[in-house]
Amino acid sequence: MKNKKYIIAGAGLGGSLLGVLLAKKGFDVEIFESRPDMRRHDIAAGRSINLALSDRGIQALKKAGLSEAINKIMMPMAGRLIHSVDGQKQNQPYSGKKGRVINSISRGGLNSILMTEAEKYDNLEIHFESKIIDIDWDKKEFTYWSDDADSAKKEDFDIIFGADGAGSEIRTNYQRGGLRMFNYSQEFLEHGYKELEIPSNMDGSYKIETDVLHIWPRGQYMMIALPNKDGSFTCTLFMPYHGEQGFDNLKTKDQVSNFFNEKFPDAVPFMPTLLDDFFENPTAPLATVKCYPWVKGGDSALLGDAAHAVVPFYGQGMNASFEDVGVLDDLINQDPSLNWEEIFDKYQKLRKVNADAIAELAIDNYKEMRSHVADPTFQIKRHIEMALESRYSDFNSKYSLVTFEHEVPYSVAKSLGERQDEYLMKICKDVKDWTSLDLDDIYNDLIKLRK
């Protein structure tokens, strides 16, 4: 069984990790990646764009033995630092339990580590600049464009994984008839995003606090900033495309300058390249992709963004992709006979409900990040959650369930977390001093919500 030919479309985050774990088991793996090798070419994905890596992703990376390598490129963030328009700052820890952090990590740095690890195996090869464009399921053959060839080439496969991201060609093939009764939806947010930068000081030191995720919440829109190892921060402005407070209204340098001076006055002095960044960097859309089934018998499976692209507001898209790979790895280990049809079916049933849950949580968290974090009732609720987490080892807020409790599936984290939120928001309404509330009573009420 092991000398089958395993093909992975995409050497991104999920595809590279899957490659490592399959190669480690002795499978023959070939990865086809449409882009050039980011370790040798200066391409967008290799730049210092960063992501928040948390527990679920870290657990899957541990399976590949990569903890030490990734530790070196991670920057811990223990909470949110909220920047008000008047320049005031407020620290909101992510958890009341000690040592809980999320980690800012360079996408290019992490992807490079994964690809380098994958290429250590003789039974794995990555073909760069090789874009998969078609699959013939009857012949078990796929077609790809390689930049070093004049025409498309064909190759056979036994099993093909679609780890080719939100615009997946493998998923498109399912949709074009490769898979009967295939359900698919793509829903764009009205909001897009643009990346900007806070560079380091001349001596390489940081201009603002490094151990937090900075947020400038402004109701309809927000800016965030995550630290990079080189002393800089990647800032992301999320806002509607249209309307009064939208990208449409930021067309000239004066408009952008006035807008930032008015809305983000404390950030502007740290953003010397703001106007160049704003007009050079693209405004990109954000969408949720859902589909089902994720697998075609025992021949093919989708994972990561190809199966479930989510908006980035819970910082879980990559983590969920890695979790997919971890679950697949467990299921393969549990089935020495390697019945792929059964493995894939179990995989999609386990994962779909959780992918749907994190998709919805991510949309809800956008509202929380851009406005609720500045709301007094929400802030009281966060104080109580922190106090409860610190006093009771078995209490976790919704954020903690999603972010720090990898043994709790996203779907369970969502349903329990929402019940807790509803109860807590109710008791926090009109409370001025959260210390006047009885924590033991609250805890006892919350326990009842677990059933």
Ligand X SMILES: Cc1cc2nc3c(=O)[nH]c(=O)nc-3n(C[C@H](O)[C@H](O)[C@H](O)COP(=O)(O)OP(=O)(O)OC[C@H]3O[C@@H](n4cnc5c(N)ncnc54)[C@H](O)[C@@H]3O)c2cc1C
Binding mask 32-71 for ligand X (x = CB under 6 A): xxxx---------------xx-------------------
The bridge status of strand 159-162 relative to strand 5-9 is parallel
Nearer to ligand X among residue 80 and residue 381 (C-beta): 80
Is residue 15 involved in binding ligand X (CB under 6 A)? Answer: yes
Binding pattern for the stretch 302-331 against ligand X, x by CB under 6 A and - elsewhere: --xxx-----x--xxxxx-x----------
Q: Which residue is nearest to ligand X (CB)?
A: 12
7, 13, 78, 222: residue in contact with ligand X (rule CB under 6 A): 13
Residue 231: name the closest of 210, 206, 208 by CA.
206
Site string for ligand X, 230-249 (x = CB under 6 A): ------x-------------
**CA–CA distance, 411 with 17 (Å, rounded to integer):** 24
Which uninterrupted H or E stretch holds 89? strand 89-93
Q: How many residues does the chain have?
A: 451
Both tokens assigned to 424: 């807590």
Candidates 5-13, 71-79, 151-159, 334-342: pick the segment binding ligand X (CB under 6 A). 5-13
Does position 115 interact with ligand X (CB under 6 A)? The reply is no
- Using the rule CB under 6 A, is 14 a contact of ligand X? yes
Per CB under 6 A, does 299 bind ligand X? no
State both tokens at 194. 């643009």
Q: Is residue 451 within 8 Å of residue 420, measured between CB atoms? A: no
| Contacting residues for 158 by C-beta, under 8 A, at least 6 apart | 4, 5, 6, 140, 299
Q: Which residue has the tokens 């949720």?
A: 288
Strands, DSSP E only, in 20-63?
Answer: 28-32, 50-53
The size of the interface with ligand X (CB under 6 A), counted in residues, is 31
3-class SS of residue 47: coil
Distance CA 324, CA 24 (A): 17
Q: Rule CB under 6 A: is residue 165 a binding residue for ligand X?
A: yes
Residue 178 binds ligand X (CB under 6 A): no
Question: Does 348 engage in binding with ligand X (CB under 6 A)?
Answer: no
| DSSP H stretches of helix in 392-428 | 398-404, 410-428
Q: Footprint of ligand X on residues 124-153 (CB under 6 A)?
A: 131-132
The smaller minimum CB distance to ligand X, of residues 313 and 395, is found at 313
Distance CA 356, CA 353 (A): 5
The contact mask relative to ligand X for 357-396 (x = CB under 6 A, - = no) is: ----------------------------------------
CB of 154 to ligand X, least distance (A): 14
Q: Give the footprint of ligand X on this chain (CB under 6 A).
A: 9-15, 32-35, 51-52, 131-132, 163-165, 169, 193, 236, 304-306, 312, 315-319, 321
